[in-house]
Amino acid sequence: MTTATAASPVIHSKPWKLDFILLAAIWGASFMFMRIGAVELGTFATAGLRVSVAAALLLPLLLARGQGPILRQHWKMVLVVGVFNSAIPFACFSFALLSISTGLSSILNATVPLFGAVIAWLWLKDRPNGSRMLGLLIGFVGVALLAWDKASFKPDASGNATGWAVLACLLATLCYGASASFAKRYLSGLPSLVSATGSQLGAAVGLVPLTWWFWPERAVSLQAWAAVIALGILCTGVAYVLYFRLIERAGPSRALSVTFAIPVFALLYGVLLLGEAVTPWMVGCGLVIVAGTSLSTGLVTLRR
């Protein structure tokens, strides 16, 4: 296999590799922070606080740049993106991390471009060529093998079932893929900061009632508070800024490939900081998923 270069976008000469590594490291840590927060705060409070903190960070930046009128003009579509691109996925991953490891959830998260390619094909009629079709097949085989090994619908000692957690992760990645096609169709040309800020506001509006209703009865530790604040500021607000700068400096294709580096950091954090185990089967299935996703998105193509 060779890296595709024929349709590569114009890339700025500014350095981008440090941004790439930092972004992968930050988003890899998000699974650990979600795990720590969800154990005490629960699914909806963790997700709701994350988007609320991110919105509070991004909104002043948006207003300072004079982009408030653009947000008001497109607020309906942007809020819809927020529900499907942040509210549902963040809640799904927070729920899943109560039952499965951060490493496994991050590997499943690497299927985002895979689902994005399928939805773009079905919705936007972006039909993949033979190489990308093969990639879709390989990627879904990797997901099936990983789910077959890890998913069980029998409750464990804590009353959790890993099967529902795996399905929650896949629902999250499906929402991410659908949001990408929705944004491409209805929000094309909108400034990235407007989309990011509006989506976090929309997610916050959608999650606030659930956050209030499911707020934990017990006192929340400083560790859990620190985790969700880090989620909002670092893993959402700062990460968005890095992501947009990476697109500008390295191009969309390289920015998209950060998805494949995230599990490396998530697995590392899980092993070193949470004492999680990583099996050869997980790593092998993850490599299959990454290979299939690379082909399906056109980042890698087969030489004829």
HSE at residue 128, side-chain half, CA atoms within 13 A, is: 27
pLDDT at 9: 42
User: What pTM value is reported for the model?
Assistant: 0.83
Would you say residue 69 lies in a domain? yes
Would you say residue 115 lies in a domain? yes
Would you say residue 257 lies in a domain? yes
- With tokens 């060529």, the residue in question is 129
Would you say residue 154 lies in a domain? no
Would you say residue 78 lies in a domain? yes
* Token representation of residue 294: 């690379």
Q: Which of 146, 160, 44 is nearest to 103 (CA)?
A: 146
Q: What is the DSSP string of the chain?
A: -EE--TTPPP--SS--HHHHHHHHHHHHHHHHHHHHHHHHH-HHHHHHHHHHHHHHHHHHHHHHTT-HHHHHHTHHHHHHHHIIIIIHHHHHHHHHTTTS-HHHHHHHHTTHHHHHHHHHHHHS-----HHHHHHHHHHHHHHHHHHHHH---S--TTS--HHHHHHHHHHHHHHHHHHHHHHHHHSTT--HHHHHHHHHHHHHHHHHHHHHHT--SSPPPHHHHHHHHHHHIIIIIIHHHHHHHHHHHH-HHHHHTHHHHHHHHHHHHHHHHS-----HHHHHHHHHHHHHHHHHTTSEE---
Would you say residue 5 lies in a domain? no
Query: How large is the angle between the packed helices 130-150 and 102-109, nearest 10 degrees?
Result: 160
Phi, psi of 301 (to 5 degrees): -130, 155
pLDDT at 251: 65
pLDDT at 262: 87
* Token representation of residue 59: 């909104």
Domain span holding position 69: 15-127+174-278
pLDDT at 155: 67
Burial class (CB in 10 A: 0-12, 13-18, 19+), 245: middle
Amino acid found at 63: L
pLDDT along the chain (304 residues), means of 10: 39 70 92 96 96 94 94 91 92 94 89 81 78 82 77 65 89 89 81 88 94 94 96 90 76 69 88 87 86 74 68
Would you say residue 223 lies in a domain? yes
Structural domain total, the chain: 1
Would you say residue 90 lies in a domain? yes
Amino acid found at 188: S
In whole angstroms, give the CA distance from residue 63 to residue 50: 20
